[in-house]
């Protein structure tokens, strides 16, 4: 927003999500799960994360979290934000205790079509998605081609050890003082 100059040292983006990671303690989530939940939330999650990163001051840290383990809601959102804010932010490693209780973020995944429940259709690349289906499947849902450092993000799997459901965490740090590249202007 024009004129909004306030920047923050710490920002938490605990975004709305499908909650599929909570299935260990909330069985109804497993029974009602539908691929469309994650597909439908991706754009909102990315918008919230992008706004959080815009509010982050130099040297500040942002934590992005979901109680989902769906890569469309997790790594895909993080990857898209890293691409948009290239040169301004980076992922940083979680503390050692968190790494001991979790697994690294995924580097690759397939994107299900909106009718996955009936068709089991998945896409490996955005180019494989037909035009009518692009209304529900966005390019930002796919793994990055450049090998973004998604292994620094952490997946906490549902476990007895932690007595928890599953969730995802990524820690961003604003590391640069330059402005992002200007968006191209329409003619």
Please identify every residue annotated as catalytic. Answer: 67
Q: Per the domain annotation, does 169 fall within a domain?
A: yes
Q: Per the domain annotation, does 70 fall within a domain?
A: yes
Q: Per the domain annotation, does 58 fall within a domain?
A: yes
Bridging pattern class, strands 154-156 and 122-123: unpaired
With a pLDDT cut of 70, the percent of the chain lying above it is: 91
Q: Which parts are annotated binding residues?
A: 14
Q: Per the domain annotation, does 69 fall within a domain?
A: yes
Once rounded to an integer, what is the mean pLDDT over residues 57-73?
97
Q: Which parts are annotated binding residues for S-adenosyl-L-methionine?
A: 14
Model-level pTM? Answer: 0.88
Q: Per the domain annotation, does 72 fall within a domain?
A: yes
pLDDT at 77: 98
Is there a contact between 49 and 15 (Cβ–Cβ < 8 Å)? yes
Distance linking the first and last C-alpha atoms of the chain = 23
Q: Per the domain annotation, does 113 fall within a domain?
A: no
Q: Based on C-alpha coordinates, what's the Rg of the chain?
A: 17
Once rounded to an integer, what is the mean pLDDT over residues 120-144?
89
Instruction: Indicate which CATH number applies to the domain containing 64.
Output: 3.40.50.150
How many domains does one find in the chain?
1
Q: Per the domain annotation, does 94 fall within a domain?
A: yes
- Measured CA to CA, the distance from residue 81 to residue 86 in angstroms comes to 8
The pLDDT tens digits for 143-174 are 998 767 999 999 999 987 778 899 999 999 99
**178 falls in which pLDDT band (50, 70, 90)?**
low
Q: Per the domain annotation, does 140 fall within a domain?
A: no
Residue 155's domain comprises 8-107+149-174
Once rounded to an integer, what is the mean pLDDT over residues 85-91?
95
């Amino acid at each position: 927003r024009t004129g909004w100059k306030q920047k923050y040292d710490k920002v938490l983006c605990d975004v709305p999500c499908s909650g599929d990671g909570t299935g260990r303690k909330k069985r109804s989530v497993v029974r009602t799960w539908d691929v469309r939940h994650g597909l439908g939330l991706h754009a909102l999650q990315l918008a919230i994360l992008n706004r959080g990163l815009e509010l982050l001051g130099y040297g500040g840290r942002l934590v992005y979290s979901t109680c989902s383990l769906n890569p469309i809601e997790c790594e895909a959102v993080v990857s898209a934000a890293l691409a948009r804010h290239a040169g301004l932010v980076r992922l940083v490693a979680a503390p050692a205790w968190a790494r001991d209780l979790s697994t690294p973020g995924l580097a690759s995944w397939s994107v299900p079509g909106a009718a996955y429940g009936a068709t089991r259709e998945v896409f490996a690349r955005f180019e494989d998605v037909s035009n009518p289906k692009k209304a529900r499947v966005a390019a930002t849902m796919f793994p990055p081609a450049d090998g973004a450092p998604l292994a620094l993000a952490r997946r906490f799997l549902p476990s007895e050890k932690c007595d928890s459901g599953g969730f995802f965490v990524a820690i961003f740090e604003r590391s640069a003082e330059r402005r992002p590249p200007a968006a191209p202007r329409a003619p």
